[in-house]
Amino acid sequence: MSNYFDTSIEFVKGIGPQRAKLLGEELSVFTYNDLLQYYPFRYEDRTRFYKIGELNESLPSVQFVATLVNMQVVGVGRRARLVATAKDDSGRIELVWFKGVSWMAKKLQPGVNYLIFGKPTKYGSKLNIAHPEMDVLTKGNSTGGKLLPVYSTTEKLKAKYIDSKAISKFIAGLIQPALPHVKESIPPEVVHRLKLMPKAEAIYHIHFPQNAQTLEKARFRLKFEELFYVQMQLLSLKSGRSKKYKGKVYDNSGLLTRFYNEHLPFELTEAQKRVIKEIYKDMKSGIQMNRLLQGDVGSGKTIVAFICMLIAIGGGSQAAMMAPTEILAEQHYEGLKPFAKAMGLQIAKLTGSTKTSERKKLHIALETGVLNIIVGTHALLEEKVKFNELGLAIVDEQHRFGVAQRSKLWSKNEDLFPHVLVMTATPIPRTLAMTLYGDLDVSVIDELPAGRKPIKTIHYYDSHRLKVNGFIKKQIEEGRQVYIVYPLIEESEKMDMKGLTDGYESTRRAFPEYHVSIVHGRMKSEDKAFEMERFVKGETHIMVATTVIEVGVNVPNASVMVIENAERFGLAQLHQLRGRVGRGSDQSYCILMTDVKLSADARTRISTMVKTNNGFEIADTDLKLRGPGDLMGTQQSGVLDLKLADLAKDAAILKLARDTASQLLSEDAELAKPEHHPLKLHLQKLRQSRVNWSSIS
Ligand code: ADP
Ligand code: MG
């Protein structure tokens, strides 16, 4: 079915085959649809005219009308510049050109009135404007009243005279004939209720806004639409799946009861109990579970995971837990092992570094069902890994696996898919969870175990080291232990290694009376284990380490976490590191050491850490600082491929979109009503293209 909007842009007035080819190569703009969705990235305010006397350097680019006086070329050769003065009845301002000097000098004429557009900047004590746009004042441009769209373009395009203005002209040539073809696919009832600008109008006004209000309405409409379609896809996937995929019924609570009665090491928090109930209900339901388990660092996800495993094992099946890295797999394995042992269950670990001979044994044990629990990395996904019956797959994603990899685990069971529980190591902002994991049901552990004192976080500059050392000494005298963490990243590994070993030496010198351990990723695993063990047993007082301890240690007696060069860590990592302390009943501290010079972002990260212990709040700030792409590395999922909407800023629109989609599907799950027919067709089309959530049809 060919669509008007799939037509090649070579047929747009002023484009033609050669420019069309270039626009395709440079901007990936191929069709009418692409061009109309090539939205301006900002707008110049041409709605008002300034007076020269009003100009100051805090203004953005502005326009004003003035007469040109005093034009002259100053300097020679490559240093030549054109200096002119513009004058109106309120004052004078200097205009300067460093490029195209002789061309401009020929073009401009003193005594003539110009419409001038540019950014005032302070030069010495005076204001000037470098490279202003100069248009001779005419009837056509003297009324102003416009927001001028600015499109991004490339050097290659500019060399062929395709600048922002040219792109705007192309769009102007297409928009009138195209608008009548634009169909409204959001149901009329929704458009009406939410007072959305009609689609055709929105497309027009995003390119040619009359004023700030129409622009805002157009942007709102198009952002809403984008997010609405993402949510429609996710939610219909969710409701479709519960009908399509049956799940094995697990209703034998024998093992669970035994664990509760005989081996529960502590009273579960209310949040843990609630979440376990939600999961058990899913696993009993006969429908495959697809649930996201969120909980802050230290909220006790491990024991919840284990209890859910017991539900599957109690029903005669096996459980698997997959982590994105070997270190995390190791941590989960170490965390689960004591519970499994207490219950007499067989547990093993499988990662990329598992020896072949060991692997073979594991494969057999899994296939025969001797092994109850396996913990590992994506090595678990290999073809050779077969289960007797996989009942529960827990995936610790840390934002790294996509939907595709998740579902690979399903295929481990041919007749019935295993129940799937997705966990994340650190909280994800609600907006991201709604989009990235919008197809899953969500459980949140929103409570820390009782008796924990909130960790106190303090920021010190390196120059206060003596004070910090004094504090550490006092803590150790009171019987506590201390972590000192150094950054180590691959790009600067050699220097970082030196920072770590120097840090180790100076720590030993500063605390001659105490024992100091050192652990880093380059050590042999036996040596690492040996040093860890000494610290766990309390034989050493200070552990100097790299981020290997971000995960993998649990020493309740350690109450101080010193993070060196804290400005070099990301927020999620800082929060994860801080989560290593505060696990006992003593007051814990996190000390962030930094250089005096800090970037604005680094300052925000540090002050956020000092201000709050709440992982969800931290995740929100992180999203604002870094943007969703960086945060996730999940561009391939397509879900985040948004043209206009910004998950950090448009949380309210996203919520509206999700609620609207959810209500619509609850009233008409099959979209069978005639008024939902266009929506249904549009969704079908999106499902084929998969990426463009706002495509026009
Ligand atoms: P995370 O959610 O970060 O994975 P863990 O599962 O590692 O957290 O739990 C953190 C610490 O809290 C562990 O030492 C664990 O034994 C302990 N813990 C978990 N749940 C409780 C509870 N309900 N009461 C007391 N301590 C708990
Ligand atoms: Mg954990």
Closest listed residue to residue 660, CA positions, set 240, 228, 234:
228
Q: In the sheet that 318-322 helps form, which strands lie side by side, from edge to edge?
A: 347-350, 373-376, 318-322, 390-396, 419-423, 290-295, 441-445
Between 301-314 and 254-262, two packed helices, what is the crossing angle to 10 degrees? 140
Could you give the CA distance from residue 355 to residue 542 in angstroms, rounded to a whole number?
A: 33
By three-state DSSP, how is residue 481 classified?
A: strand
pLDDT of residue 640: 61
Helix and strand numbers (H, E) in the chain are 23, 23
In angstroms, the CA 508 to CA 517 distance is 10
Instruction: Work out which ligand 1 atom sits closest to the CA atom of 268.
Output: 23
CB neighbour list of residue 139: distance below 8 Å, 6 or more residues apart: none
Predicted pLDDT at 190: 95
Helices (H), 245-269: 254-262
How close is the Cα of 410 to the center of ligand 1, in Å? 29
Query: Which runs of E-coded beta strand occur in 159-317?
Result: 290-295
Predicted confidence (pLDDT) per residue in 40-58, tens digit: 988 887 778 899 999 998 8
Q: Is the pTM of this model over 0.85?
A: no
Best mean pLDDT range from 139-148, 238-247, 261-270, 290-299: 261-270
Give residue 404's pLDDT: 56
Answer whether 78's CB lies under 8 Å from 89's CB.
Answer: no
Whole-angstrom distance, CA of residue 194 vs CA of residue 187: 11
Mean pLDDT, range 93-107, rounded to an integer: 91
Beta pairing class for 373-376 and 318-322: parallel
In our burial notation (b when 16+ CB lie closer than 10 A, e otherwise), range 411-447 reads ebbeebbbbbbbbbbbbbbbbbbbbbbbbbeebbbbe
Q: Quote the pLDDT of residue 298.
A: 85
- Any ligand 1 atom below 6 A from CB of 302: yes
Q: Is it the case that residue 244 has pLDDT exceeding 90?
A: no
Quick one: tokens of 1? 């079915």
Q: For tokens 């001797």, what's the residue? A: 370
Determine the Cα–Cα distance for residues 318 and 303; give it in Å rounded to an integer: 17
pLDDT value at residue 639: 54
Q: How high is the pLDDT of residue 261?
A: 95
Q: Is 303 a residue whose pLDDT tops 90?
A: yes
DSSP code, position 287:
B
Decide the pairing of beta strands 373-376 and 113-118.
unpaired
DSSP secondary structure code for residue 657 in this structure: H
Please state, in angstroms and rounded to a whole number, the distance separating the CA atoms of residues 507 and 482.
11
Q: Whose CA is nearest to atom 19 of ligand 1?
A: 300
Decide: 315 in ligand 1 pocket, CB within 6 A.
no
Model confidence at 636: pLDDT above 50: no
In which band, very low, low, confident or very high, does the pLDDT at 230 lie, cut at 50, 70 and 90? confident
CA distance 578 to 613: 9
In eight-state DSSP terms, residue 247 is B
C-alpha to C-alpha distance for 643 and 646, rounded to whole angstroms = 8
Which residue's CA is the nearest one to ligand 1's atom 18?
A: 300
Please state the rounded mean pLDDT for residues 121-126: 87
What residues are paired with 373 via a beta bridge?
A: 319, 347
C-beta of 552 in contact with ligand 1 (< 6 A): no
Secondary structure (3-state) at 676: helix
Look at 3 and 333; give whichever has higher pLDDT: 333
pLDDT of residue 630: 53
Are 561 and 485 contacting, i.e. CB atoms less than 8 angstroms apart? yes
Stronger pLDDT, 336 or 405, i.e. the higher one: 336
**SS3 (DSSP) at 343:** coil
What does the pLDDT average to over 613-625? Answer: 88
Strand order in the sheet with 558-563: 456-461, 589-594, 558-563, 481-485, 542-545, 516-519
- Condensed to tens digits (0 to 9), the pLDDT of residues 547-598 reads 766 555 678 899 999 999 999 998 988 998 898 898 878 899 999 999 999 9
| Ordered structural domains, the chain, with CATH | 3-43+154-207 (no CATH), 48-144 (2.40.50.140), 254-285+300-424 (3.40.50.300), 456-612 (3.40.50.300)
Structure tokens at 206: 């995003």
From 264, 270, 275, 303, give the residue whose CB has the most ligand 1 atoms within 8 Å, as the site to mutate: 303
CA distances from 427 to 298, 422, 552, 588, 646 (A): 11, 12, 18, 21, 19
What percentage of the chain exceeds 70 in pLDDT?
A: 91
As given in the structure block, the two tokens for residue 612 are 């709050």
pLDDT tens per residue across span 176-194:
999 999 988 899 999 999 9
State yes or no: pLDDT of 435 exceeds 80.
no
Residue nearest ligand 1's atom 16 by CA: 300
* SS3 call for 545: strand
73 ligand 1 Cβ < 6 A: no
How confident is the model over 655-671, as a mean pLDDT?
91
Ligand 1 atom nearest the C-alpha of 295 is 2
Instruction: Tell me if 449 CB under 6 Å of ligand 1.
Output: yes
Compute the mean pLDDT over every residue in the chain, rounded to the nearest whole number: 88
Beta partners for 128? 94, 121
Q: Tens of pLDDT along 495-527? A: 888 888 999 999 999 999 999 999 887 888 788
From residue 383, alpha-carbon distances to 359, 404, 412 in Å are 13, 15, 9
**Alpha-carbon torsion 296, 298, 299, 302, what sign?**
positive
Q: What is residue 633's predicted lDDT score, i.e. its pLDDT?
A: 41
Structure confidence at residue 64 as a pLDDT band (50, 70, 90):
very high
Spacing, Cα 590 to ligand 2 middle (Å): 19
User: Per-residue pLDDT for 153 more than 60?
Assistant: yes
Residue 314, pLDDT > 90, answer yes
